[in-house]
Amino acid sequence: METFFIIGLPRTRTAWLANLFTTDQSHCFHEWFSENKPETIEDSFSQLNKQYVGNSDCGNVFFYEVIKTKFPDSKVVIVHRPMVESLVAAVRAIQDADPYVTFKAIQDAQQKIEAIDGGNALNVMFSQLHREETIEQIWRYCLPSVQFDRERFKLLDKLKVTVNYTSFANKRRKLCPGL
C-alpha cells in the first residue's frame, strides 16, 4: 500500500480532491482525523485493501508528525492559498463563525504549513487547481500507476463541495483535546 496526504488551509478544495482521488485502485479519505484517533490510522488504511490510500484534509497539517512517523515514505501534496483568501472563504462558508477564532485557527495552520519541508512535497497553488495539467500532476505524483481520468476530472471540476466546518471542529476537539 502506498500512501499520500494532501494538506492545505481551509477552503483549498481538499474535499473535492478526496472525491477525485477515490478510484477502483485508490481511496482518499476526507478529514479522516476528525472522525478517528491518530493511533488507528495504519489499521484503518490497510483494511481498505487498495493500492493507494490517502487523506485530503486541511487538518492534516496538525497531524504531520504522526503522518511522517507512521508513513515515512508517504507522498505529501501542499496546496498553497493566501491566508486572507482562505479566511474570507471560510467566514463566508461558516455562517456562525467567529472571525477571530477562524483567523487564529487559519493563522496557526499557515504557520505549521510553512514549517513543513516543502522540498519533500509536491507544492501547488490553489489558484491552479482548476487546470487539468495541475490536477494531472498531482494525480501522477500520488497515483503513479493509475491512468489519469480526464472525464472524471471534467465532471467533478464543476462540483462545489462544502463541509460543515463547525461540526468538523467540534468533532476534532472531542477526539484530540489540546489541538
What is the predicted pLDDT for the residue at 157?
83
Helix (H) or strand (E) holding 35: helix 32-35
What's the pLDDT score for residue 117?
74
For residue 102, the model assigns a pLDDT of: 79
Whether the CA torsion 137, 141, 145, 151 is positive or negative: it is: negative
Q: pTM of the full predicted structure?
A: 0.85
Q: Report the pLDDT value the prediction gives residue 71, as an integer from 0 to 100.
A: 95
CATH number, domain with residue 90 = 3.40.50.300
Domain of residue 95, residue span: 2-175
Overall domain count for the chain? 1
Question: What is the chain's length?
Answer: 179
The parts of the chain modelled with pLDDT lower than 70 are 95, 97, 160-179
pLDDT tens digits for range 56-105: 998 899 999 999 999 999 999 999 999 888 888 877 777 676 777 778 88
Rounded to whole angstroms, how far apart are CA atoms 3 and 103?
A: 31
State residue 32's pLDDT score: 92
